[in-house]
Amino acid sequence: MAVHHRIIEVGIVLLDDGVVVGEWSSLVNPGVRIPSSIEAFTGITNGMVADAPSFDELRREVRERLEGRLFVAHNARFDYGFIRNEFRRVGEKFAAPVLCTVRLSRALFREQPRHSLDALIERYRLDCAQRHRALGDAAVLPPLLAALESAAGFERVHEVATAVLGESRLPPYLPAELEEDLPEGPGVYLFRGEGGALLYVGKSRNLRSRVLAHFAGEHRESKESRLARQVRDVEWIETAGELGALLLESQLVKQLAPSANRRLRNSPSLHCLRLVETGEGLAVRVELLDGSRDGEVGVFGPFRTERDARRALEGKVREHGLCLKATGLERGEGSCFAFQLGRCRGACVGRETRPRHDARLQLALASMRLKPWPFEGPIGIRERGLAGADDVLHVIDRWRHLGTVSDAPGVAELLARADDASFDADAYRILVRCLERTAPRDIVLLGDPRR
């Protein structure tokens, strides 16, 4: 994705009325190391770009060559995305009409199965002096356009190119400039309907592609399409990365209650399953989740409602052949109903020992265990900004997201208000998954007594 990576070379070929009138290229110092896989693919090494100018130093030359012209490329949205994001990193906007030769070839020759640049070079016997280099790939496009005109006729190519250029993935009741304004980085988007009514809140690692996907033709009969037809305005909030987008989406859905969101709705209270000792063995109780006791051994969940918690327990009992009476789901004398159906191994009538049943019960519930907070105090999860965004710190205490800041005073303010934060099931699940893949260097201990 363009927003995650940097340009290491720019190559531009200028074409007027089918005639090449200029060529220009330059290596670009990306400011970060080039991965070995990219070095192997392009032949451009870290040593080659070490003394090259940055994009900031080249931006005027690039703009002078591209301004006011049609931007043509193979898989054009990829190249165009890189250029736009490099301009965004230096605080400038760039926009141009875009013609993708992949889409043009597909529209002209639908019977052909392959439309990659390599396939078209082979099909039309074109020469490409330096494949996978910026100027080499750009220089092959003028002869490719000439080959397409020769194969399909000038008028047909012009007709199809005009249609491709005129295509918009946005409905007519949304501003045309929205397609270009949408950023290609992570964040949260809000759909509003008539009168500014909030319809939907969503998140994505690429706001542009996700928002436009809502309006794609293949969704014509779906719920997503019915939502898209109601949208009259689109807002967005960019975040440093995916974690920020996930947490912000969860927060906004609960705060704003958009009509089309069913997931992530706020629950007035959360429930859990708790193992308790009855004197005869272990049983399970459904209780309200007390955030101050989260992470205790023998606590499972969280669940939005008491009914959800009970259903989860009943499912585990059925799946593992546990006893309804021993687990506390059924009362009374004699065997439990599951034993009468042959689904209980007989803890209720002494055929299975309680220690054995207790062990099986704990094993059955293990996957739902509420994970203990693995730190002695609050932490910050550092998320490194993309597309020029600042790095941020997500401040977390006992699975509670206290907030997101970018400086030390902000951290201190959040920690001072930590006692007011409540446990949130969605934030808990997001953070559990996040910590499993977060590098230790991006975890900052805050208020650790050992420091």
C-alpha angle with apex 171: 229 to 115, nearest 5 degrees? 120
Q: HSE-up of 190 (CA within 13 Å, CB side)?
A: 18
Element holding 286 (H helix, E strand): strand 282-288
Q: How far apart are CA 386 and CA 31, in angstroms?
A: 13
- pLDDT of 166 reads 66
How much is the pLDDT for 168?
A: 63
Evaluate if residue 138 carries a pLDDT over 70: yes
Give 252 or 292, the one with higher predicted confidence: 252
Work out the percent of the chain whose per-residue pLDDT is above 70. Answer: 91
Residue 134: band (very low, low, confident or very high) from pLDDT cuts 50, 70, 90 = very high
Per-residue pLDDT, averaged over 61-68, amounts to 93
| Region at 299 (left for phi over 0; alpha for psi -120 to 50; beta for the rest) | beta
DSSP string for 181-244: HS-SS-EEEEEE-GGG-EEEEEEESSHHHHHHHTT-GGGTTSHHHHHHHH--EEEEEE-SSHHH
Specify whether the CB–CB gap between 323 and 344 falls below 8 A: yes
- pTM value? 0.63
pLDDT value, residue 346: 93
**Pairing mode, if any, of strands 379-383 and 443-445?**
antiparallel
- Separation in Å, CA 197 to CA 107, 172, 190, 257, 409: 39, 19, 10, 11, 36
What pLDDT shows up at residue 264? 58
Query: Does residue 77 have a pLDDT over 80?
Result: no
Contact 212, 176 (CB under 8 A): no
Q: Choose the weakest-confidence range: 63-77, 233-247, 384-398.
A: 384-398
The side-by-side arrangement of strands in the sheet containing 392-397 is 400-405, 392-397, 379-383, 443-445
Domains defined along the chain, listed by start: 2-166 (3.30.420.10), 178-256 (3.40.1440.10), 271-368 (no CATH), 379-445 (no CATH)
| Exposure b/e, 241-256, CB count within 10 A at least 16 = b | bbbbbbbbbbbbbbee
Of the given ranges (16-20, 142-146, 258-262), which has the lowest mean pLDDT?
258-262
Q: What is the pLDDT of residue 384?
A: 80
Pick left, alpha or beta for residue 264 (phi over 0 → left; psi -120 to 50 → alpha; otherwise beta): left
Give the side-chain half-sphere CA count within 13 A for 231: 25
- Band of pLDDT at residue 200, cut at 50, 70 and 90: very high
Q: Is the pLDDT score of 280 beyond 80?
A: yes
pLDDT band at 408 (very low <50, low <70, confident <90, very high): confident
Cα 93 from chain centroid (whole Å):
24
User: What's the pLDDT score for residue 426?
Assistant: 87
DSSP per-residue codes, 385-418: -STTPPPEEEEEETTEEEEEESSHHHHHHHHHTG
pLDDT at 424 over 90: no
Which position has the higher pLDDT, 292 or 274? 274
β-strands 71-73, 98-100: how paired? parallel
pLDDT tens sequence across 293-332: 545 568 898 888 899 999 999 999 999 999 999 999 998 8
Q: According to DSSP H, which parts of 76-191 are helical?
A: 76-89, 101-108, 117-123, 134-139, 141-152, 154-166, 178-181
Condensed to tens digits (0 to 9), the pLDDT of residues 325-344 reads 999 999 888 899 999 999 99
Per-residue pLDDT band for 406 (boundaries 50, 70, 90) equals confident
Rounded to 10°, the helix 76-89/101-108 angle is 160
Q: Which two tokens stand for residue 115?
A: 């439309």
Hey, how many other C-beta atoms are within 10 angstroms of the C-beta on 233? Answer: 17
CA 284 to chain centre: 37
In this prediction, residue 9 carries a pLDDT of 96
Q: What is the pLDDT of residue 268?
A: 62
* Lowest-pLDDT range of 19-28, 65-74, 173-182: 173-182
Yes or no: say if 249 and 264 are a contact pair by the CB < 8 Å rule.
yes
